[in-house]
Structure 1
Amino acid sequence: MGEDWVYLALLGIIMALLSYIMDKGIAMCTNARVWLYRDLTTQPVAQYFAWVSLPVCLILFSAGFVHLIAPQSIGSGIPEMKTILRGVALKEYLTFKTLVAKVIGLTATLGSGMPLGKEVSKL
């Protein structure tokens, strides 16, 4: 019982680090989109396609990556976590592969500008 705080502290530090890395990745995607849009100021049609195409590519990448790597990471995960907390074991849900798919998928989706994932709670 005395060492539980160590695991909880490590879990908190790891999650804070992952959140920081995700925020930096999201900011990079957003800055790339704005930079591409501003770089094409003389061509409004190219600006439109730049503004639309990068988010679409990021969303398609996110959906394809998650579907190929860990399909169980699709969705919010709240119903699955409620099920696990009630004592039902879900096969391959709490794995490292699922964590990687969730982090990369959320970073690409939020970098596209869609208000999903952890951004919904900030609205």
Structure 2
Amino acid sequence: MANYIEEVATDIDQISVGDSILVGDLNSLQVYRTKFNNSLKILVQNIRSLNKNFTDFEVFLARCKVNYDVIVLTECWLQYNNNVPELESFRHFSTTRYLNQNSGVVVYVRENLKYVHVYEPMIDDCDCLVRQMKKK
């Protein structure tokens, strides 16, 4: 198990990230729209309750005018309400394990993306990885 954790940690260090941006407002995003036209577009957003803020999120998507391929929403508050809203032209996957009321991640993947594999790691696995990295 320890060797596996070391391999994972080493593999993570080897990952190269393409161009990415952190956007504070929609006007800033428009500058990058054409630059990333032919690349995989991924959005990660802390939604702070999926069911409460989903309509506002849909408005944001319409206003930003970027055709995202993958959307990752965190802090979905799924523990008490597992009704994941549909997003047109996307399939969705959601966590099934919860630590607290804020738990839950939902990933929306554009329907035309094939060969999507979803794996939800056990929380114990993640904790073990963190402890192993702290020892180094």
Q: TM-score w.r.t. structure 1 length?
A: 0.26
Larger Rg belongs to:
1
Looking at both structures, which has the greater relative contact order when contacts are Cα pairs under 8 Å and sequence separation is at least 6? 1
Q: TM-score w.r.t. structure 2 length?
A: 0.24
Give the helix-richer structure, 1 or 2: 1
